[in-house]
Amino acid sequence: REGRCLAKVSPNTYLWACKRKHQWEASYKSMKQNYRWCNICPNGLHLDGYNEELGLAFKYSGNQHYQIEPFFHPQGQINLDAQIWRDWEKRALCYREGIILITIPYCVVDLKTFIRSALYAFGYLPRPTWE
């Protein structure tokens, strides 16, 4: 996984480091079973939907993308900052590839209106005419 175990911290806990030198503590068992290596580095930039023909993608962002949630951010602010950075990297990558990315925040109440507004804004739907 391009990292290593640096030290044994306690009987069941070790200090780990990734190739980018991020450090964290975790048990050997959790590292062996966990699908993620470093919880700070981006491990693939996931999109919830993508249409190559239209160059259009969408991504739903739960509250863990905006505020500290202990389940997703065991190290608090450092994990939230890493999440915000990964989100920025995803937007930048889509932009560089000419892909329009619509990010849907968890707090959206009227999903249909939100998506239609985004599609209008990016020119995928004509503006409605109110006659």
- Render the chain in DSSP notation, one character per residue: --EEEEEEEETTEEEEEETT--EEEE-HHHHHH-S-S-SSS--S---SEEETTTTEEEEEE-GGGTS--TTT-TTTHHHHHHHHHHHHHHHHHHHHTT-EEEEEETT-S-HHHHHHHHHHHTTSSPPPP--
Where residue 30 falls among pLDDT bands split at 50, 70, 90?
A: confident
Q: Give CA–CA dist 70/28, Å, rounded.
A: 21
Q: Does 60 or 42 have the greater pLDDT score? A: 60
Q: What is the tens place of the pLDDT at every residue in 45-74?
A: 678 888 889 999 999 999 999 999 998 899
For residue 69, the model assigns a pLDDT of 94
Percent of the chain with pLDDT over 70: 89
What pLDDT shows up at residue 45?
Answer: 65
Residue 123: band (very low, low, confident or very high) from pLDDT cuts 50, 70, 90:
very high
**Confidence check: pLDDT of 35 > 60:** no
Q: Give percent of the chain above pLDDT 90.
A: 53
- With tokens 């030290």, the residue in question is 7
Paired residues of 3 in beta bridges: 18
Backbone phi, then psi, for 50, in 5-degree steps? -150, 130
Q: What angle do CA 41, 86, 105 make, to 5 degrees?
A: 140
Is this prediction's pTM over 0.75?
A: no
Q: Within its chain, how far is the Cα of 63 from the centroid? A: 11
- Please give the structure tokens belonging to residue 123: 């020119």
